[in-house]
Amino acid sequence: MSSYRIVVKDRLSGSFAAAVDPAMRQTDADGRTALAGPLVDQSQLVGVIHHLHDLGIEIIGFEVIDDESPPRPIGGSNA
């Protein structure tokens, strides 16, 4: 199992925001939202990406999270 961080252009709202554990969601002052957490496999990752796409949510960053690395701010490099 790997952990991922997906940064989207806007704040999440509605049912999608309610479905995401607040501990796995971070929004910055510019309105970008980072979703981070473990996914079972690549199929689950693709499902999340497709769901964001189907909702019209623009993905602006993506990375695999090394569990030993400290979390970076949303606007950090590679995001």
Q: Do residues 42 and 55 touch, judged by C-beta distance below 8 A?
A: no
Q: What is the reported pLDDT for 43? A: 92
- Structure pTM? 0.73
In the predicted structure, residue 76 carries a pLDDT above the cut 90 = no
- Separation between Cα atoms, residue 33 and residue 55, nearest integer Å: 15
CB atoms within 10 A of CB 53: 11
On the CB side of 15, how many CA atoms lie within 13 Å of its CA?
A: 3
Give the residue extent of every domain in the chain: 2-65
Q: What is the tens place of the pLDDT at every residue in 4-46?
A: 999 999 888 777 777 777 878 888 888 889 998 888 888 998 9
